[in-house]
Chain A
Amino acid sequence: MLSQILHRIKEGAALIWYEQEEECLLCSNLAKEIICQSCRDLYFRPELNRCNTCGKLIGDNKIRCSDCQEGKGPKCLTRATALGHYSGAWKDLIQNVKFRGQPYLLAYLRGYVDDWVIKNFPPPDVIIPVPMHHSRIAQRGFNQADVLASILSGQLGIEYQDALYRNRATTAQTSLGRHERLNNVQGAFSLKKDVDIKGRIIWLVDDVVTTGTTLDECAKALREHGASDIYGICLAAGIEEILEK
C-alpha cells in the first residue's frame, strides 16, 4: 500500500517536472530554459569578453578588439554588446528569422533577451531599431531589428520609437570588406521629423554586428541631434580572428 502511494507521488512529481521542460530553440533537446545550457555554452560563449566599443567577441583578458584599439572602430557609440557568436544554430535561427519568413521565432526569446540586456546596460529613455530601406521592407514584410526592439520595449516597459530613416538601399554589409562597409552606409541614415532625442539615453537595436559600422552611422545621426548615451545591442557578433584559430 505504502509503496503504491509512494509510486503515485513519484509519478505526480515526474509530471510536474515534465511540464516545466521545454524544447531548446536551437537544438530541440529538452531544456529548462528556451535555450539549453549546452547551446548557451556553444554559441553565447559566456567565457569570452565583448569588445567595449563594437561588441565583437574577444579574449577574456581584453577590453577592446584590435581594430577598435587601433581606432578603426565606431566613434559615436557609447558601447556595444552582442548576445552570442554568429555561428552554427544561432546563426541559423537569425537567418530563419530574416530570410525564411519566421519573425515569430524572435518572440520565443522574450524574457531571455531582455533579461540579458538589462544586466549589461543602464536602462534607456528610448529603444530605437536600426532601420531598413523601404524597398527591402516591402519585400520582406518586416524589419527584424524592429521586431526585436518592440520585444525589448514591451518586456521592459520602455518607450520604443522608430526614429531613424534609411535614405537609400545599401548593399548587404556581409558581402563587403571593412573599408567598403564604411562607404556603403556613410550618410545612409537620418532622424525622422518631429523626433526629439535631445539628452536622451538610447538603446540602438540590430540583429547582427560585424564591424559596428552600421550601428555607428546610426549613432552619428542620433548624436547630431543631441542624444546623450547610445548603447548598441545585437543578437550576434563576429569573433576576433586570433581566437577563431
Chain B
Amino acid sequence: MLFYVLIDKEEVMRFSPVPEMDKLSKKVLRPGLPLSYLQYYLKDLISSDKITFKKKLQNIETSIINQLVKGLKKDEAIVETQFNWQEGFQSKIHLNEEIFSRIITAIQGRLITEGELPVIARTIGISEKELLVILNEAVSRGFGDWLPAISRNQAGWICERCNSNNRIQEWPSLYGQAATCKECDILGAQTSLQTIFKFNPANLHLEQPLLLDHDEDQLDEKWSIQFTTAQANAAKKLIEYTEEQKAREVLLWAACGAGKTEVSFPLIARYLAQKKKVLFTAPRQDVAHDVHPRLLKNFPKVSIKLMSGAVVQEFKESALTVSTTHQTLKFYRYFDLIIFDEVDAYPYSGSAVLNHGLKTALSESGQIVYLTATPSDELIKKASSGQCPIIRLPIRHHGHHLPLPQWVKIPLKVDNPLKTEPTLSGNVTESLDTILREVMLKGPLLVFVPLVAMVTEWIKILQKMFPLKTVDGSWSYDPKRREKVNSFQEQKYDIFLTTSILERGITVPGVQVVVLYADHQIYDVRSLVQMAGRTGRTIDSPTGTVIFLASSETKSMKDARKWIQEQNTFAKQEEVQNA
C-alpha cells in the first residue's frame, strides 16, 4: 500500500493511504511511497510524536522532497523520484456513522494486515477503497494506527506483527532493499512495502452485546460432563485464584485424562457473564478443533468464533474465541482472560514469536490460565517461587491411576540418520512379535516412532508381522491425517503408527501404547509422559499398558516414570482427603 505525505492548514504533516478523501489536507505530495520508507526518510524532520515538525522549517515542502530523494538515492532505488506537491482535495464523501461503528465493532482488538483488507471488505460488503477510508478515519479519531508491516530503523528491520528481527529476508525492490519476515510467514508473509492497521483500545468503549444468561449458583451442574469431586475442587480454586485474588497467571497441572479443559469452563462462564472477552488457545490445531465443539455444547448461548489456519476467517464480534496460538498475533490488547491449553506443546514451547503474540493479545489487566499435564521447568519454577499460583488435579476423571510405563530392553537402534529402513535381526523380530501380540490382546495398538520417515517403513514391517491385522499410520503433513486419525478413533485399525503429532489430545477407547526407539534423543520427558497418557482415558477401559522399547534407559525415560509415579502418589493423598 502506498502512503502520501499530506500537509494541513496548521502545517502539520500526516501520512495517508487515501489523500483524495482527506478533508483537511492543504497539500499532497505525489507519488506515494510505502509507509516504512516515508517514516524512515523523514524521521529527521519530525519529532517523536510523529506529526509536528522539529523546528519551523524555512521551506518544509522542499525539505521533504529533498529528504525523500536523498534517501531513495542512497538506497539505490530505481523508482521515479520526480515528486510534486499538489493542491489538497475537499472531500465530498460523507462518512456513514452507522457503517463506521459497525465496522469498528467487527474489527475490535485486531491487528489487520494488508492481505486481510480485501477479505474484510468482501465480508462486510464494501469496496476496499471504502474500507481504507473508514480505517483512515479511525486512525484520525485515535482508534488505531497505521504501521509499516516491517519497520526500518538504524539497526535494520523489525516485524511489527511478531516483533522479531532474526529471520528477515531482504530482497531488491523498486525502492531499494525490501524485507520479508519469515518468522511469522505461516500467517501470510508480510513485507516492508506493506502496512498493518493496529487497533487502539484506549479510546474506544463500545457497548458489549448480551453474552450469557447464566445462573451462577449452579456452576458445577450445568456442564456436559459430570464433575468429579477433584474437578469441582479444582474449578473452585481456579475461580478463587483468578477472579477473586486476581492472579495474573495461574497454572493448572493435571494428569493426562483428568478433564482439565472442562475444569476451566466455570471460570470462563464467570468472565463471560461480566462481559469480559475470553480466548481459549492451544499451540496445536488438533487441540483447538477438538475443544471448539465442546465449548459450543457447553456455552450454547454464547457467540463463539474458531480461528485457525484451517478455517476461513470471519470478521464478526464474538464473546469467546477459540484459536491456535499463532492466531494471537492477529490481536492487540484485547482479551481479559486467556485459557492456554497444552502450554508446553510444540510450537509454542520456546517460541519467542508466539510468546509475543500471547502477551500482546492480552489486555493490559488481562490474566492467563495455563493448562497442562507436563509443565515446563520454567513454569514449575514460577509456580514454586510463588509468582504463579498452582492447582493440582492428579486424579483422572474415572478415578483410576495413570498406567506406569514399562521399559523392555530390546536392541533397537537408529544407526544411520538417512537410513530409515531398519535392519532387524531374527531375535529382535521374534521378541517384538511376542510383545506386540500380547499387548494387542488388550486393545488397539498406538505405536510411536521418532521420525516421520519411519512411519511408512514400520507400517510395512508390522503388516508383514501381523498379516491378519489392519495396520496404518500418519504423520504431520500426511494429507489424509485427519481422516485416518478419525478412523483410528472409530477403531478401524488394529495397529496405528505415528510420530509425536498424536502424543496429545487424542482419546481412543481401549488403546495400548508402544514407543519404539524410546531412547531416541527426540523424546523428552514431556512427550513420553504424554504418550503414556493416551492409555486408559475412558471410563469403560480406564487402565492400559505402556511399553517403552529401547536398547537403553535414558534420563527422560526414567523421569517419565518418576513423574507418573509422583502424580499417582499425589492422587492417592487427594483421594484420602476427599474421602
List residues of chain A with CB under 8 Å of any chain B CB.
10, 14, 17-18, 21, 27-28, 96, 99-104, 134, 137-142
A103 to B194, CA, bound (A): 14
State the interface size on chain B (CB cutoff 8 A). 29
Pair A101/B194 contact, Cβ less than 8 Å: yes
Bitwise interface map of B from 2 to 24 toward A, beta carbon under 8 Å scored 1, else 0: 10000000000000000000000
**Interface residue from B80, B189, B415 paired with A100 (Cβ < 8 Å):** B189
Cβ contacts A to B, 5 pairs, < 8 Å:
A100-B115, A101-B180, A101-B191, A138-B31, A142-B174
Q: Is the CB of B418 within 8 A of A17?
A: yes
Whether A103 contacts B171 in the complex (CB less than 8 A), given A138-B2, A138-B79, comes out as yes
| Cα A4 to Cα B80 with chains together (Å) | 67
Q: Is the CB of A104 within 8 A of B193?
A: no
Question: Would A141 and B175 be within 8 Å (CB), given that A100-B115, A100-B189 are in contact?
Answer: yes
8 A Cβ contacts from B406-435 to A: 415-419
Contacts of A138 on B, CB cut-off 8 Å? Answer: 2, 31-32, 79, 174
Least Cβ–Cβ distance between A102 and chain B, in angstroms: 5
Question: In the complex the two chains form, what is the Cα distance from A27 to B417 in whole Å?
Answer: 20
Choose among A10, A14, A139 the residue with the greatest number of B CB atoms under 10 Å from its CB.
A139
Tell me whether B417 and A18 are in contact (CB under 8 A): yes
Do B416 and A101 touch (CB < 8 A)?
no
Q: Write the nearest CB–CB distance from B252 to chain A, whole angstroms.
A: 35
A142 — which chain B residues lie within 8 A by C-beta? 171-174, 178
Which residues of the other chain, A, contact B419 by a CB distance below 8 angstroms?
14
A99 to B117, CA, bound (A): 13
Q: Which chain B residues in 138-192 approach chain A with CB under 8 Å?
A: 169, 171-175, 178, 180, 185, 188-191
Instruction: For residue B156, give the distance in angstroms from its CB to the closest CB of chain A.
Output: 17
Are A141 and B193 in contact, CB atoms less than 8 angstroms apart? yes
> What per-residue 1/0 map shows which CB atoms of B481-510 lie under 8 Å from chain A?
000000000000000000000000000000
A residues in contact with B193, CB < 8 Å: 101, 139-141
Given the known interface contacts A10-B416, A28-B477, A138-B31, the answer about A102 and B189 at a Cβ–Cβ threshold of 8 Å is yes
Whether B418 lies near A141 (C-beta < 8 A) is no
With A138-B174, A141-B34 known as contacts, the answer to whether A18 contacts B418 (CB < 8 A) is: yes
Q: B204: CB under 8 A from chain A?
A: no
Instruction: Name the residue of chain B whose CB is nearest to the CB of A162.
Output: B78
Q: When A141-B173, A141-B191 are in contact, do A104 and B180 touch as well, CB less than 8 Å?
A: yes
Tell me if B539 is interfacial: C-beta within 8 Å of chain A.
no
- Assess A14 versus B1: contact at CB under 8 Å? Given A28-B477, A101-B180: no
Q: A28-B477, A101-B180 are in contact. Are A137 and B174 (CB under 8 A)?
A: yes
Output the least CB separation between A88 and chain B (Å).
11
Task: Provide the bound-state CA to CA distance between A100 and B189, in Å.
Answer: 5
Residue of B nearest to A104 (CB): B171
Could you tell me which B residues sit within 8 Å of A by CB distance? 1-2, 31-32, 34, 79-80, 115, 169, 171-175, 178, 180, 185, 188-191, 193-194, 415-419, 477
Residues of B within 8 A of A28 (CB): 477
Chain A residues within 8 Å of B2, by CB: 138-139
B79 with A100: CB separation less than 8 A: no
B181 to chain A, nearest CB (A): 9
- Give the distance in Å from the alpha carbon of A141 to the alpha carbon of B193 in the complex: 7
* Shortest Cβ distance from residue B17 to the other chain A in the assembled complex, whole angstroms: 11
Residues in chain B near residue A27, CB distance under 8 A: 477
Indicate the member of A10, A140, A142 with the most B CB atoms within 10 Å: A142
A100 to B194: give the CA distance in the assembly, Å: 10
- Across the A-B interface, the 8 shortest Cβ-Cβ residue pairs: A101-B191, A141-B173, A100-B189, A141-B193, A104-B171, A101-B180, A141-B174, A14-B416
Instruction: Quote the shortest CB–CB distance from B36 to chain A (angstroms).
Output: 11
Give A146 Cβ to nearest chain B Cβ, in Å: 10
Q: Which residue of B lies closest to A27 (CB)?
A: B477
- Asked whether, in the complex, the Cβ of A21 is within 8 Å of the Cβ of B188, the reply is no
Given contacts A138-B2, A139-B2, contact A21 B418 (CB under 8 A): yes
Q: Assess whether A101 is in contact with B189, with CB atoms less than 8 Å apart.
A: yes
Contacts of B31 in A (CB 8 A): 138
Interface core residue of B31, B115, B171, B180 (most chain A CB under 10 Å): B171
- CA distance in complex: A102, B190 (Å): 9
Taking the closest CB of chain A, its distance from the CB of B52, in whole angstroms, is 28
The distance in angstroms between the C-alpha atoms of A14 and B477, with both chains bound, is: 26
Give B35 Cβ to nearest chain A Cβ, in Å: 13
How distant is A43 from chain B, measured CB to nearest CB, in Å?
Answer: 15
Contact partner, B190, options A18, A101, A140, A141, Cβ 8 Å: A101
Q: How far is the CB of A56 from chain B (nearest CB, A)?
A: 27
Minimum CB–CB distance from B217 to chain A (whole Å) comes to: 52
Q: Which residues in B have their C-beta under 8 angstroms from that of A18?
A: 417-418
Q: Give the Cβ gap from B161 to chain A, nearest Cβ, in Å.
A: 13
User: Which chain B residues border A21 with CB–CB below 8 Å?
Assistant: 418
Residue with the greatest number of chain B CB neighbours at <10 A, chosen from A99, A101, A140, A141? A101
Known: A104-B171, A141-B174. A14 touches B189 (CB 8 A): no
Complex contacts, B173 vs chain A, CB 8 Å: 103, 141-142
Q: From B31, which residue of chain A is reached at the shortest CB distance? A: A138
CB distance from A133 to the nearest CB of B (A): 13
Closest approach, in angstroms, between the C-beta of B524 and any C-beta of chain A?
A: 23
- Would B418 and A14 count as touching, CB distance under 8 A? yes
**Which residues of A have CB within 8 Å of B115?**
99-100
Closest to A140 in B: B193
B194 touches A14 (CB 8 A): no
Chain B residues positioned under 8 Å from A102 (CB to CB): 169, 180, 185, 189
Would you give the shortest CB distance from A201 to chain B, in whole angstroms? 27
CA distance A152 to B541 in the complex (A): 64
**Closest CB of chain A to B81's CB: distance in Å?**
13
Shortest distance in angstroms between A151's beta carbon and chain B's nearest beta carbon? 12
A103 vs B169: C-alpha distance when bound (angstroms): 10
How far apart sit A21 and B190, CA to CA, in the bound complex (Å)?
A: 29
CA distance A102 to B167 in the complex (A): 13
Q: Which residues of B contact A101 (CB under 8 A)?
A: 178, 180, 189-191, 193-194
Cβ contacts under 8 Å, B32 to chain A: 138
Q: How far is the CA of A142 from the CA of B173 in the complex (A)?
A: 5
- The reply to whether B189 and A141 form a contact with Cβ atoms under 8 Å apart is no
Q: List residues of chain A with CB within 8 A of the CB of B178.
A: 101, 141-142
